[in-house]
Structure 1
Amino acid sequence: EREDSKDRENPLLDTSGLPRFSDITVSHIVPVIMQLTRQLEEGLQEYEHRLKPQPSDRSWESVEEPLELLVFPLSYSWLVVSHLLSVANSQELRLVHQQVQPVYVNTMTRLAQSFPIFLAHKPIRELNTEGQKLDRVQRRILESFLHGARLAGVELQGGKKQRFNQIQLQLANLTTKFKENVLDATKAFSITLMDRLSVEGIPETARRLLANNAVAGTDRSSDPEKGPWMVTLDDPSYDVVMKHSQDRQLRERLFRARVTRAAAGQFDNSVIIQEIRELRRETAEILGYKNYAELSLSSKMAKNVEAVWDLLNFLHNKSYPVAQRELESLQEFAQNHSHVGELKHWDLPFWAERQWESLFSLTDEMVRPYFPLERVLSGLFKLSSDLLGIRIEPADGTAQVWNPAVRFFYVYDEKGTHIASFYLDPYSRPQEKHSGAWMLGFLDSHNHHIPPLGGGIYLPACLLAISLLPVSGPKPHGNCSQEIELHQFGHGLQHMLTTVPYAAASGINNIEWDAVEIVSQFMENWLYDRDTIMRISGHYQTGEHLPDDMFKQILRGRREEGGLSMLTQLYFAALDMELHSRWV
């Protein structure tokens, strides 16, 4: 009873279900993380002592399951803290995170480098307690554990081990600081526009967003027609200006600010990038790899650097001539419509949008009213029901959330049994939420006792985070991001509908990182299925489905500028490989 009472007083210690976000304050974090790291250290000593010396006595039940239970409380609480840093970032939270991160990293390094645990896992790859071979999932978990332990430095000795551990702590601090600098640099930049000509061409929905930005934190009311308007570097604001603003100087200024974000001044990441490269290179050398790319690929499907470059070069050679033709076509189109000179980077999104509108007689503003968020979600849930036999129902108010805009849903199977849950954080909040879109698993599937539950099954739960235009004004739409929603929903389905009973391999856990996008990419294809479009579309005023002629135009434009898009992604991949496989 005393333990239950303490858990209610300290929400980060309560592992009985979903996080109690409304009860968590920054003041809870330090004492909880310090307590849980201490408990894990003590538990590890006891666990290592209990491991029997005879390999034949070791089994999955005696080695793997107790370890998972031992680590769970700290992993759970740290996940919640890290999540809040991504969606509710504040200076106070950062300071606390900086205080406890070294303690957490050191404790997890101690766990990963436990030689008794490493040795105990080796013999159970072959047999379990009943003398029968392990199933495929158990074997995969064990093999991944052993490989991960080696990458964590379990076999290192003396000075190499000490230096390796120093590097891991430095990397944790540097990567956190890198993300903070990107967020801060994004928040620090804005352009206030007073002239109506500056927003000429920008759709009404976006003008309303920019007008709201300009008066945020004041008692003034916004005026999307007369201004002022404020442009920022967060995705919804940046993308719409680059695509639609007729003010070329504004586009250039915004583009240069975006590509140099966190590259100089107070939030400069350039030195941090170089430090991360150097530390990763040293990590690889300590572990016996030629470079960090080789180390990273050791746990992926592509097993060597050469294979990755072969694929990138193959795709580049196929895409480059197509991209050249696309660029020539765009250049010709722009010059025929008043553009003078060669297209620059800040011209490409604008003229690509104009060319698309000209080719397919369609604009974002024409399509957007047919995809209010609620209608898209309803259609997604119906698609999931038809494909997978599940039912998704709103459950707002049954779980605590970190922001009033966050939604919560239950997932039921064909028999009506509650099998999973998920949060949806749909809107951009550049002051506190990282940009982009992601899926995060809060709870993994478990089939055994986790304190303080007292036994039973732990249902999976996840977060789907996207960065839609915030809803404002009289029109309850402004999203038109169905591709992102379908993509992240695919990740979420894989997490929630897992049939694997072990957390270490349920959902997307233990899937090679160069294969983890398969389900999400597959889900995006449903955007080009007519029945699905009819499900997820419905005009915000009339409920009318997307007209068939609009859908046909979307199908026609599906691969427009596919070559240029492919080259962009190949550039990102090649840069990543270059940074981590070669040293200049």
Structure 2
Amino acid sequence: MNILLQKFDTKLDTAPFSKIKNEDYLPAFQEAIVLAKAEIDVIVNNPEKPNFENTIEALSYSGDTLDRISSIFFNLNSAETSDEMQKIAQDVSPLLSEFGNDVRLNAALFAKVKTVYDQRESLNLNPEQTTLLDKQYKSFSRNGANLPEDKKNQLREIDKELSKLSLQFGENVLAETNAFEMHLTNEKDLAGLPEGTIEAARSLAKAQEKEGWIFTLDHPSYIPFVTYADNRELRKKMAIAFGARCFQNNEFDNQEIVLKIAKLRFERANLLGYKTHAHFVLEERMAESPEKVLSFSNDLLAKAKPAAQKEFEQLSAFAKDLDGIEQLEKWDGAYYSEKLKQQLFNLDDEKLKPYFQLEKVLNGAFTIAEKLYGLTFTEIFDIDKYHEEVTTYEVTDKSNELVAVFYADFFPRKGKRNGAWMTSFKSQYIKDGKNERPHISNVCNFTKPTETKPSLLTFNEVTTLFHEFGHGLHGMLANTTYPNLSGTSVYWDFVELPSQIMENWCYEPEALALFAHHYETGEVIPQEYVQKIKESASFQEGMATMRQLSFGLLDMGWHGQDPTNITDIKAFETEQFASTQLYSDVKENAMSTAFSHIFQGGYSSGYYSYKWAEVLDADAFDYFLEEGIFNTEVAEKFKENVLSKGGTEHPMILYKRFRGQEPKPDALLKRAGLL
């Protein structure tokens, strides 16, 4: 019997990872699709008149076995993959996209949904039910249900092709990231590098039975190298390798894939009656239209650009004074910024890292969640995990009721993609009077402990941990009736609010005192360091803002216009970056070919949402600052109106209920020192 198709007979209904074999996946997917189709047939063949319960609600709860298997498989394909898993993903993705289309293009099912939708005014639905009805109807209409048969088939073909292309895109990026390593044997080449980075590079070489040190394009290796290595030529080599991923005319080249994805998305949007892919996507976002996104972005750009140019000139002059650098290049940016930051604030990551031991930082996040939301995190050792490095927690509330299961997976390894993310193995929902609690996971890539040191985080990694934990809380505190409105199932430009607001606590002395203790002496981080962290928070914020906006504008370039005449990715990017460019161009590099957010993740036409959510998070945190950062009344309002509500109502309604007003950009501009 296939374990994935049985009711998990496990503690807290957790996934039995150690018992799942790779050969279980494909048959489990096939069977779960059959089951899900049968559930759809029951809805379609129901002789009673379609109503909210027998159609909309039934549809919302259908396919839960398939959802559960999908979340387990695709989460592991990101965090613990193998060649075999990737092959299965290539087989399974078209099946899922085909099934999705079978549902969305099912004329009899859509007729029933439409019947209920057309009566919506007279149904007396609560806000969550209204949202569900609207979402269900749009999931059909926005996916071709109103199209004639031949166009529906065209749509199916496009979707199948797109799901394959984005998988291939991601596999190529992973392969290119893994393919490069810089093997150094001369100790002189390590000048400037932190001890921990050198030790990690030594361990990597040892693992390959090589002398010397190995550096890779994984973030814990790449970022410190380009930030600290004195050897400019080697920094250049690393930076060019990083920027050239999938842009090298080899078997992992993504240029054709990028052009195909952009064109297919445009074609799909046209087919559905939208001007561009961005028009299609933004209809279901707070921002509503590409015009609004561009005006928001250009407005921020106008405020950030003068500051960015001034910062760039200051940095160039500093590099020239210090090392006689005539022309500041991309591989100099992080290096001289770090040196300038040290000069201005006498603050470097290496000084701070001893105060940020991973376990203590995580416990700090837990303590803050306890103070704000009354949550308790207890490590448990009797549930299955998919890798020995994962730690597992039972999350309970003040009355000792189960809130969630939490998985934490923090170190890089071969089968794990770069970056940091939150995901879930099981959604929260309420059915037959039972509140099913969610299983939430945070996955990051932090420096591993070594023989002599625990895992010590840079301040940037501390904010990353808090960011992902904020997404985690959004998932854990979910409290909605329907699974597809639960947790992070919200408009994409609202989803970063819970994560970004959590980062604010990392800058507050009262919060830092809870977890920033020296790993050897236990001493609390000195007040002067805290002061400097706060002051340096807006260091080069003009440049950082401009960089972020440049990615968003590139995204809108690909998706907010007709891409059919683009043939040369590099030339197109140069055009898109014209208004935000500070450094001179590197001919070997392209951004789009490894821009996984928009070509593999869900951020196409949505990259602007990081900045959009920053406006929300700065405005929301301002409320905490006014009342106290651990004020339980403000926290309760945030939990009740934002964290627990998922996508049950329009985000602006939820936000105004929490804040009493619409968000204003002033708090962000003030925080960024751009006012």
TM-score normalized by structure 2? 0.80
Q: Is the 8 A contact 2:428 2:436 kept in 1?
A: yes
The answer on 1:118 being equivalent to 2:103 is no
Q: Is the 8 A contact 2:5 2:32 kept in 1?
A: no
Greater Cα shift, 554-563 or 154-163: 154-163
Matched with 1:288 is 273
SS at match of 2:297: helix
- Aligned-pair Cα RMSD in Å: 1.8
Q: Is the 8 A contact 1:51 1:63 kept in 2?
A: no
C-alpha distance in 2, partners of 1:45/1:463? Answer: 34
Change (3 A) 1:15 1:284: farther
Matched with 1:64 is 56
Alignment deviations for residues 533-580 of structure 1 (CA, whole Å, 9 cap, x no partner): 111211111211111111111111110000000011001000000001
The answer on 1:414 being equivalent to 2:406 is no
User: What are the within-5 Å matches in structure 2 for residues 16-165 of structure 1?
Assistant: 17-50=13-46, 52=48, 54=49, 58-125=50-117, 133-165=124-156
C-alpha distance in 2, partners of 1:205/1:301? Answer: 43
Matched with 1:357 is 342
User: What are the within-5 Å matches in structure 2 for residues 400-439 of structure 1?
Assistant: 400-429=384-413, 431-439=414-422
Alignment deviations for residues 476-533 of structure 1 (CA, whole Å, 9 cap, x no partner): 1332311001101111111111222221211111x11011111111111111111101
Which AA in structure 2 matches 1:438? W
Displacement of 1:77: 0.5
C-alpha distance in 1, partners of 2:88/2:323? Answer: 54
Matched with 2:202 is 211
C-alpha distance in 2, partners of 1:458/1:127? Answer: 30
User: What are the within-5 Å matches in structure 2 for residues 157-196 of structure 1?
Assistant: 157-196=148-187
C-alpha distance in 2, partners of 1:14/1:112? Answer: 28
The answer on 1:444 being equivalent to 2:440 is no
Change (3 A) 1:210 1:12: farther
SS at match of 2:257: helix
Q: Is the 8 A contact 2:32 2:63 kept in 1?
A: no
Matched with 1:10 is 3
Change (3 A) 1:51 1:573: farther
Matched with 1:331 is 316
Displacement of 1:114: 2.2
Which AA in structure 2 matches 1:505? L
C-alpha distance in 1, partners of 2:399/2:553? Answer: 48
C-alpha distance in 2, partners of 1:355/1:19? Answer: 49
Alignment deviations for residues 455-495 of structure 1 (CA, whole Å, 9 cap, x no partner): 83311111111110111121113323110011011111111
Q: Is the 8 A contact 1:112 1:149 kept in 2?
A: yes
Matched with 1:505 is 485
Alignment deviations for residues 62-105 of structure 1 (CA, whole Å, 9 cap, x no partner): 22332233311111111211111101111111112222222222
Q: Is the 8 A contact 1:59 1:127 kept in 2?
A: no
Displacement of 1:30: 1.4
SS at match of 1:467: coil
Displacement of 1:287: 0.2
Displacement of 1:417: 1.0
Q: Is the 8 A contact 1:490 1:523 kept in 2?
A: yes
Which AA in structure 2 matches 1:212? S
SS at match of 2:410: strand
C-alpha distance in 2, partners of 1:308/1:317? Answer: 14
Matched with 2:222 is 238
C-alpha distance in 2, partners of 1:302/1:88? Answer: 35
C-alpha distance in 2, partners of 1:14/1:387? Answer: 35
SS at match of 1:307: helix
Greater Cα shift, 282-291 or 147-156: 147-156
Which AA in structure 2 matches 1:175? S
Of 480, 488, 504 in structure 2, the residue corresponding to residue 525 of structure 1 is: 504
Change (3 A) 1:513 1:15: farther
C-alpha distance in 2, partners of 1:51/1:562? Answer: 62
> What stretches of structure 1 move > 6 A for 4+ residues in a row?
126-129
Which AA in structure 1 matches 2:451? G
Change (3 A) 1:82 1:519: same
Matched with 1:452 is none
Which AA in structure 2 matches 1:11? L
Q: Is the 8 A contact 1:15 1:76 kept in 2?
A: no
Which AA in structure 2 matches 1:321? P
Change (3 A) 1:137 1:69: closer
Matched with 2:525 is 546
SS at match of 1:347: helix
Q: Is the 8 A contact 2:81 2:416 kept in 1?
A: yes
Q: Is the 8 A contact 1:174 1:276 kept in 2?
A: yes
Q: How many residues matched? A: 557
Which AA in structure 2 matches 1:485? L
C-alpha distance in 2, partners of 1:128/1:292? Answer: 29
Alignment deviations for residues 303-325 of structure 1 (CA, whole Å, 9 cap, x no partner): 11111111111111111110011
Q: Is the 8 A contact 1:369 1:477 kept in 2?
A: no
Of 455, 461, 467 in structure 2, the residue corresponding to residue 487 of structure 1 is: 467
Change (3 A) 1:255 1:507: same
C-alpha distance in 1, partners of 2:419/2:226? Answer: 17
Of 298, 302, 309 in structure 2, the residue corresponding to residue 313 of structure 1 is: 298
Which AA in structure 2 matches 1:229? W
C-alpha distance in 2, partners of 1:365/1:107? Answer: 51
Alignment deviations for residues 278-324 of structure 1 (CA, whole Å, 9 cap, x no partner): 11011011000111111111111111111111111111111111001
C-alpha distance in 2, partners of 1:241/1:250? Answer: 9
Change (3 A) 1:380 1:213: same
SS at match of 1:392: strand
Change (3 A) 1:339 1:501: farther
Displacement of 1:270: 0.7
Change (3 A) 1:13 1:98: farther
C-alpha distance in 1, partners of 2:427/2:84? Answer: 29
SS at match of 1:267: coil
Matched with 2:660 is none
Q: Is the 8 A contact 1:125 1:139 kept in 2?
A: no
C-alpha distance in 2, partners of 1:15/1:172? Answer: 29
Matched with 1:556 is 535
C-alpha distance in 2, partners of 1:339/1:111? Answer: 64
Greater Cα shift, 92-101 or 462-471: 92-101
Displacement of 1:217: 4.0
SS at match of 2:442: strand
Displacement of 1:116: 2.8
Unmatched 5+ residue regions in structure 1? 1-5, 221-226, 450-454
C-alpha distance in 1, partners of 2:359/2:392? Answer: 13
Change (3 A) 1:374 1:51: farther
Displacement of 1:12: 5.2
The answer on 1:580 being equivalent to 2:563 is no
Change (3 A) 1:132 1:144: closer
Q: Is the 8 A contact 1:12 1:29 kept in 2?
A: no
C-alpha distance in 2, partners of 1:458/1:559? Answer: 42
Which AA in structure 1 matches 2:243? V
Unmatched 5+ residue regions in structure 2? 566-675
SS at match of 2:444: strand
SS at match of 2:399: coil
